[in-house]
């Protein structure tokens, strides 16, 4: 439990209150005002950032509780019905607001709610406790609920797929985004953002154990945006289930766009999230194997399959490509797809020989499909082996189900040891008896969490982190029996399991307004592969648009049918054009794996020039979405002292004619990437490299890129040395920065000097730990920071965007 180490400043008793009283928390960046009302409540009244009002006059209740009492179900909120509200604070930047003695006669007299407010730089950390429930049970907690102004010419960011932008979200009252988390489609990460020209707001559910929650953004009235989070309490239905909010809710003002919001989430997740991927030697070995795959396709088998012909086709497909290719293998046993899970064995006769023959060289990766979530309710052993371990609804008997291929499947709860043993056995058979390269666990990283209310299970009823912790344990147990050269993959990309898989099959991440925020957060920690293209659409712009966009995001090309590369002697010009583009993308992804698999995804560039657009459809979970995108798709990556600018032209042309060129330029500035001149530059193509040239200063790089051409510009320099052996390196947060920054390891009162790279002093101050250093309005570039306190010297480089 949290401790109340606070100096008592005020106690307000409302019987009822007759006057309004205001309370504040503030620092140099933010001023947050709360105000009591004449309804025995307290509400959030205003948030100011440098005198700019960020929220409208009306606010929803800061919290709401849904309780099950011995007499009836009731709801309580912050704005009314409390006999006692107490404000406690030790300084101007933090407070605890205590709500006690509810006036509703059905509520327990002992009930109290503690709301914690803590300002940190440009942000507010919100926390909460509910205790003293007595014989009542907590069911749902709505906290926090905050409205903000959204005047237009702005964007909302939501974590759907790799990230989605919605332009002018509050110009009407129709738009609404809400999703459960954890999930691998609608909420792959647990943060959202809103930004316009003047400021942005980051909404982060900083919960390190991925507890079940429901969050979103909506439009209560025109030109206003509401953020809310709903928590399902653990042990719901049990009296006295006092609750402490997991982690914190972070509400932060920033200057920038979706990429800046992603960096806030990355900084938190990389330091605190229990799922952040490690770089231990075994995971690194598995990732090396996964990353050294340039292209993926699927291999379907059935009762008519001749295993020798299947082997021949797979070998012919792989032979066309001069890099390793991967096969996701379906129906490798005697059951139809989406039928009889988890009865996976015996495998088809001849499968063992096919795998052994294809492994005579290192040109293929063979990854059979299993389902990591479902149990067919028609199986003879379902009642004894499936039903007891399935996730149950609130009546404790009805099972959560899904329906595929005319079959009904029970959703299994991942904490259950027998279910873990079932998947561990399948992994063992595939990995150690059949010697596959990996295992594909369908649905685990895609399908959403379901709460389980079965009181006989080894987890609390309802809410909590047990879906997350259950899968963490299940997948760890399965991975333990694999060799370091074998890997695990799943569908989707829910970040709560990013540490347990080496590959995420993102075939369905398609909609309008996509941005690569997931790559900005998790780039360098896990590989993404596959994208639904519709192989039969190879003569259509949608094929090239989807393939090229995914490739620019660093996704290993895939989701293809084998036949696109078979029987090449009599293929059409359209199929040859598509196949050659796919090969180019695969070659580049394979050659650039040190960047795209192990490097960092950086802020996209501003391409200068008349870059045309192309239109095509994205396949958004069964719905075609019309999309318009620049013909030149690009991304930028950094690995050590090297930077890669990846470019692909997705515009299709008539194969009977000739491609047109798109001419444009981009600016390369070494200082943005903490590199020093001279810098070597060369151009990588699917078939080779250009001669190296030397850059001695910031330069505009001129590019001419033909339709369906792919190339990369590689810049290699020397990393700037920011500290000598006798000088401590400064930890700057954030870095890069746009508006301000703070220093984590600099003592109070240290002499701080900031100069640009020409030596001009920009600022000389005595550092105050609770005051961010303002750099708003400074030119973008590199700044040298030196500091001294006593005998200690400090040095650092700030990148200003």
Distance CA 652, CA 707 (A): 6
Q: Give ∠ CA 189-180-440 in degrees, rounded to 5.
A: 65
Distance CA 249, CA 523 (A): 24
**Encoding tokens for residue 60?**
């929803």
Listed residue (603, 596, 561, 601) closest to 582, CA to CA: 561
Residue 725 has pLDDT above 70, yes or no: no
With residue 290 as reference, give the H or E element that holds it. Answer: helix 281-291
Listed residue (296, 286, 191) closest to 248, CA to CA: 191
Task: Report, as an integer, the average pLDDT of 113-130.
Answer: 97
Q: How many CB atoms lie within 10 A of CB 72?
A: 8
Task: Report, as an integer, the average pLDDT of 316-320.
Answer: 97
Task: Report, as an integer, the average pLDDT of 172-185.
Answer: 95
Q: Give ∠ CA 446-450-453 in degrees, rounded to 5.
A: 160
Q: Average pLDDT over the chain, rounded to whole?
A: 94
Strands 438-442 and 487-491: parallel
Residue 104 has pLDDT above 60, yes or no: yes
User: What is the biggest distance separating any 2 CA atoms in the chain, rounded to whole angstroms?
Assistant: 89
Distance CA 534, CA 193 (A): 32
Phi, psi of 34 (to 5 degrees): -115, 150
With residue 467 as reference, give the H or E element that holds it. Answer: helix 466-479
Distance CA 270, CA 264 (A): 10
Residue 5 has pLDDT above 80, yes or no: no
Task: Report, as an integer, the average pLDDT of 38-52.
Answer: 91
| Helix (H/G/I), strand (E/B), else coil: 95 | strand
User: What pLDDT sits at residue 738?
Assistant: 84
CA atoms within 13 A on the CB side of 276: 14
Per-residue confidence band for 757, with pLDDT thresholds at 50, 70 and 90: low
At which residue do the structure tokens 């948030």 appear?
47
Domains of the chain: residue spans and CATH: 8-272 (2.70.98.10), 281-372+414-529 (3.20.20.80), 613-719 (2.60.40.1180), 728-800 (2.60.40.3080)
- Each residue of 763-783: pLDDT tens digit? 878 888 888 898 988 887 778
Distance CA 179, CA 162 (A): 15
DSSP string, 662-699: EEEEEEE-GGGGTEEEEEEEEEEETTEEPPPEEE-S-E
At which residue do the structure tokens 């009836």 appear?
72
Helices (runs of H) and strands (runs of E) counted in the chain: 10, 51
- Each residue of 541-551: pLDDT tens digit? 999 999 999 99
CA atoms within 13 A on the CB side of 282: 13
Strands 751-756 and 325-330: unpaired
Residue 12 has pLDDT above 80, yes or no: no
User: What pLDDT sits at residue 797?
Assistant: 84
Per-residue confidence band for 144, with pLDDT thresholds at 50, 70 and 90: very high
Cβ proximity of 133 and 111 under 8 Å: yes
- Each residue of 330-344: pLDDT tens digit? 999 999 999 999 999
């Amino acid at each position: 439990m949290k401790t109340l180490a606070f100096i008592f400043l005020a106690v307000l008793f409302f019987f009822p209150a007759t006057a309004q009283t205001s309370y504040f928390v503030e620092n140099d960046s933010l001023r947050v005002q709360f105000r009591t009302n004449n309804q025995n409540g307290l509400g959030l009244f205003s948030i100011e950032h440098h005198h700019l009002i960020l929220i409208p006059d009306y606010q929803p209740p800061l919290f709401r509780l849904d309780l099950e009492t011995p007499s009836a179900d009731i709801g309580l909120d912050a704005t009314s019905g409390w006999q006692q509200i107490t404000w406690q604070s030790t300084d101007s930047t933090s407070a605890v607001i205590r709500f006690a003695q509810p006036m509703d006669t059905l509520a327990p007299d002992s009930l109290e709610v503690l709301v914690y407010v803590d300002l940190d730089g440009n942000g507010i950390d919100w926390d909460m406790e509910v205790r003293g429930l007595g014989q009542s049970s907590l069911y749902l907690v709505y906290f926090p609920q905050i409205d903000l102004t959204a005047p237009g010419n702005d964007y909302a960011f939501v974590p759907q797929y790799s990230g989605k932008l919605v332009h002018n979200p509050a110009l009407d009252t129709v738009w609404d985004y809400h999703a459960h988390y954890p999930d691998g489609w609608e909420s792959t990460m647990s943060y959202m953002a809103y930004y316009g020209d003047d400021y942005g707001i980051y909404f982060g559910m900083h919960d390190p154990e991925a507890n079940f929650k429901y969050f979103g953004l909506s439009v209560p009235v025109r030109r206003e945006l509401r953020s809310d989070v709903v928590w399902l309490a653990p042990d719901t239905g049990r009296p006295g289930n006092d609750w402490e909010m997991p982690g914190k809710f972070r509400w932060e003002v920033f200057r920038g766009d979706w990429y800046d919001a992603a960096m806030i989430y990355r900084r938190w997740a990389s330091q605190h999230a229990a799922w952040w991927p490690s770089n231990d030697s075994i995971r690194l070995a598995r990732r090396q194997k996964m990353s050294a795959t340039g292209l993926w396709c699927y291999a379907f088998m059935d009762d008519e399959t001749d295993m020798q012909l299947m082997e021949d086709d797979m070998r012919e497909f792989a032979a066309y490509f001069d890099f390793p290719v991967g096969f996701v293998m379906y129906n490798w046993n005697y059951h139809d797809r989406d039928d009889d899970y988890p009865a996976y064995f015996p495998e088809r006769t001849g499968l063992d020989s096919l795998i052994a023959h294809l492994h005579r060289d290192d040109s293929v990766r063979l990854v059979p499909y299993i389902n990591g979530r479902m149990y067919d309710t028609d199986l003879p052993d379902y009642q004894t082996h499936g039903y007891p371990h399935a996730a149950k609804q609130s009546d404790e008997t009805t099972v959560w189900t899904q329906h595929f291929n005319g079959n009904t499947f029970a959703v299994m709860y991942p904490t259950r040891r027998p279910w873990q043993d079932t998947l561990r056995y399948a992994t063992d058979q595939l990995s150690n008896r059949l010697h596959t390269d990996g295992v594909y666990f369908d649905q685990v990283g895609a399908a959403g969490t379901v709460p389980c209310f079965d009181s006989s299970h080894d987890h609390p009823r309802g809410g909590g982190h047990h879906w997350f912790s259950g899968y963490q344990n299940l997948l760890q147990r399965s991975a333990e029996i694999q060799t370091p050269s074998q890997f695990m993959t799943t569908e989707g990309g829910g970040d709560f399991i990013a540490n347990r898989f080496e590959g995420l099959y993102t075939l369905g991440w398609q909609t309008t307004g996509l941005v690569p925020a997931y790559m900005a957060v998790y780039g360098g920690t896990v590989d993404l592969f596959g994208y639904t293209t519709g192989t039969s659409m190879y003569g259509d712009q949608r094929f090239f648009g989807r393939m090229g966009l995914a490739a620019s995001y660093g996704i290993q090309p895939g989701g293809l049918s084998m036949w696109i590369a078979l029987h090449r002697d009599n293929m059409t010009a359209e199929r040859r054009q598509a196949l050659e583009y796919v090969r180019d993308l695969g070659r580049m992804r394979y050659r650039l794996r040190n960047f795209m698999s192990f490097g960092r995804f950086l802020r996209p560039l501003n391409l200068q020039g008349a870059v045309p657009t192309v239109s095509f459809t994205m396949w958004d979970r069964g719905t075609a979405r019309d999309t318009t995108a620049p013909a030149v798709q690009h991304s930028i990556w950094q690995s050590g002292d090297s930077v890669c600018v990846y470019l692909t032209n997705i515009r299709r042309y008539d194969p009977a004619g000739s491609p047109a060129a798109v001419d444009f330029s981009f600016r390369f500035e070494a200082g943005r990437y903490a590199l020093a001149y001279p810098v070597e530059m060369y151009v990588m193509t699917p078939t080779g490299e250009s001669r190296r040239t030397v850059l001695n200063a910031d330069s505009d790089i001129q590019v001419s890129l033909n339709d369906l051409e792919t190339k990369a510009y590689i810049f290699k320099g020397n990393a700037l040395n920011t500290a000598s052996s006798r000088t401590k390196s400064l930890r700057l947060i954030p870095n890069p920065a746009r508006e301000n920054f703070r220093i984590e390891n600099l003592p109070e009162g240290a002499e701080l000097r900031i100069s640009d790279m020409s030596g001009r002093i920009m600022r000389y101050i005595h550092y105050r730990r609770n005051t961010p250093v303002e750099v708003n309005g400074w030119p973008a570039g590199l700044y040298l920071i030196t500091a001294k306190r006593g005998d200690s010297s400090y040095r650092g480089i700030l990148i200003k965007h």
